[in-house]
Amino acid sequence: MENYLVAMAVFAGLYGLMALGLNVIWGMTGMINLGLVGFMAVGAYTSALLTVRHAHWPMWAGVIAATIVSGIAGAVVARITARLKGDYLAIVTLGFSEVVRLVASNEIRFTNGTDGISAIPGPFRGEVAPATFNLIYLGIVAAALLVVYLLCQRLRHSPYGRVLRAIRDDDQVTSVAGKPVLRFKTEAFAIGAAITGFAGALYGHYNAYIAPEGFVPLITIYIVLSLTAGGTGTNAGAVVGAALVVAFMEGTRFVVAEIPGLAAVQVAAVREFMIAALLILVLRYRPQGLFPERHARHATPDTTP
């Protein structure tokens, strides 16, 4: 049981990292990104290709390269979609993630196609017991999450973060105030994508195996749900929301197992229903998420003569 809880904490941490990445892009800057899993795939593949398939770099180098490459991919996507907003941006980014998946499926010589890449190294994997490996990895993910969280907090409370939120609320006003909106948007997208790619690389090294089928929009939905449930715009919300989504997904396994008289397929269906119902309940009673953004309000000056 402990081993399982540790493994789920690792998943929650990795989802939390991706939710922090999405928070920079969507929560702070207001760009809807449904292609998150594409950046995760770019990160996971970059590190896997460099540490096992095409070269044998040390893991830390692979993870750093993954962060940089996915950041560049984010900047490129941001530039291409510079004129798009709202639903249009959402569709194009969703398309981006599908393109990444299809390239990974079809560039067989480069990515090993649908067979995926296995035997991706993990720190001390095979040298220590599986339970110890899990604990080591939890330590790594927790440290990574803490560092990224603090960086995101710094970003959010800096003047830079204020510009991002100004763009989110009204990019024309921001532009009139003399801020280079396109540059800020590109940078925010690149930062968010880099964090997501970083999480993707850690995901690959943890699971030891990645394949195109693993990077389907389902994961994007998990992350969007995490951020929505936690509170769009706040970093604490992103992390707590991810933990909550994993807790819902895993906790329901034990609840449905207690319902007597259900066939296996009904158990699976009831479980999905319960996850959905729990999330709906959270958003019904906390529409702004568990940790909504607090706005510092200044008293409106009295303009009556």
Partner 1 sequence: MTFLATRRAVTAGLALSPLFAPSVLRAQGEPIRLGTLMPLTGAGGPYGPSMRKAVEGVVESVNSAGGIGGRRIQLYGEDSQTNPDAAVRAARKLIDVDRVSAIMGTWASAVTTAVAPLAWESRTMLFTVSGADSITQLPHRGYIIRTQPNSTLQITKLSEFLGQQGAKRIFILAAQTPFALSNKEILEREMPKYGGQVLGQTIYDREKTVFRSEVDQALRARPDYIFLNGYTPDVTILLRELFRAGWTGGKVAPAYAINQRLLDSLPADVTNGAVTWAPSPDIESPAFKRLQALLGTNDPDPYSCQTNDHAALAALAIAKAGAATGDAIRENVRKIAQGAGERVTEVTEGLRLLAAGREINYAGASGACDFTDNGDILTCPFRYEQAEGAKLKTIRIS
Provide, rounded to whole angstroms, the least separation between the CB of residue 286 and partner 1: 25
Q: How far is the CB of 197 from partner 1 (least distance, A)?
A: 17
CA dihedral 283, 4, 235, 189 (to 10 degrees): -100
- Of 218 and 299, which CB lies nearer to partner 1 in the complex structure? 218
DSSP for 155-222 reads HHHSHHHHHHHHHHH-HHHHHHTT--HHHHHHHHHHHHHHHHHHHHHHHHHHHS-B-GGGSSHHHHHH
Stretch that binds partner 1, among 49-57, 65-73, 111-119, 295-303 (CB under 8 A): 111-119
Looking only at residues 27 through 86 of this chain, which bind partner 1 when binding is defined by CB under 8 A?
none
Q: Is 119 in the site for partner 1 (CB under 8 A)?
A: yes
The residue type found at 121 is P
Q: Which stretch binds partner 1 (CB under 8 A): 142-150, 154-162, 166-174, 249-257?
A: 249-257
**Applying CB under 8 A, does 209 fall inside the site for partner 1?**
yes
Q: Does 218 bind partner 1 (CB under 8 A)?
A: yes
- Amino acid, single-letter form, for residue 39: F
| Span near partner 1 by CB under 8 A; candidates 152-160, 260-268, 279-287, 294-302 | 260-268
Whether the Cβ atoms of residue 212 and residue 40 lie closer than 8 Å to each other: no
Alpha-carbon distances of 171 from 23, 69, 135, 156, 180, rounded to whole Å: 18, 28, 45, 17, 10
Cα within 13 Å of Cα(33), Cβ side: 39
> CA 167 to CA 177: how far, in whole Å?
11
Which one of residues 154, 162, 272, 277 is an interface residue with partner 1 (CB under 8 A)? 272
To partner 1, the closest distance from the beta carbon of 263 in angstroms equals 7
- Quick one: 265 or 296, whose CB is closer to partner 1? 265
Size of the residue set binding partner 1 (CB under 8 A) = 36
- Per the document, the length of the chain is 305
Of residues 6 and 92, the one with the C-beta less far from partner 1: 6
Interaction of residue 115 with partner 1, rule CB under 8 A: yes
Site for partner 1 in 135-194 (CB under 8 A): none
Return the structure tokens found at 228: 């929505």
Q: Is 124 left (phi over 0), alpha (psi -120 to 50) or beta?
A: left
- Does 221 engage in binding with partner 1 (CB under 8 A)? no
Residue 297 corresponds to which amino acid? R
User: Which spans of this chain sit near partner 1 (rule: CB under 8 A)?
Assistant: 1-4, 7-8, 11, 108, 113-116, 118-119, 130, 207-209, 211-214, 216, 218-219, 249-250, 253, 263-265, 267-269, 271-272
